[in-house]
Structure 1
């Protein structure tokens, strides 16, 4: 996975695609190496199952009809207690907060939910 550092265009299967700053993209390593050398993208962590992840807010104060995870206006992931079991990371079989963020299209928030000692993060959140 790679994060776009500056806007650029690339031809993919005959179609010109615009890469927007901040987007997280998946590229073959050979293509990525070229764009990294040009300063257009940077490598971001690869999600792995055995890495500690930060806890998302468990939505005890959500309304009964709010059952699906969402991201607040201040960029915090909320997973209601009455959400489908697959989102309940605190229970066996629940997917990780990172997987839920990917599903919500908010890969830009993944670092916020990673353990501070892993993936190059140096900030500590309590």
Structure 2
């Protein structure tokens, strides 16, 4: 199945985990080649006006500073989707009930696999944006 369709199924699980309060972390990894952008990490951050997510963009080069942003779920979706295949080929969702991995293979097919949960509790990220 084309990776775009499988990614939409994966994203439904991301949204449900945020809504259910069991979203622990989301990580984008597995680049092809030596890209400057190394990882993207997302953690929940509870705020009074609703759930915000803290996204950390981590770079390989010491000259490029890591970037922190507070985003809502729709903004996060746009960023994650824009980085699929350029440069990331996998996205890992960690929840307190299961770990879900989305992968794109060389034939542009997507696949979702589930494993036992890595995290038992949800810990809110601390922002240095204040």
TM-score (norm 1): 0.32
Indicate the structure with greater strand content: 2
| TM-score between both structures, scaled by the size of structure 2 | 0.31
Higher alpha-carbon Rg = 1
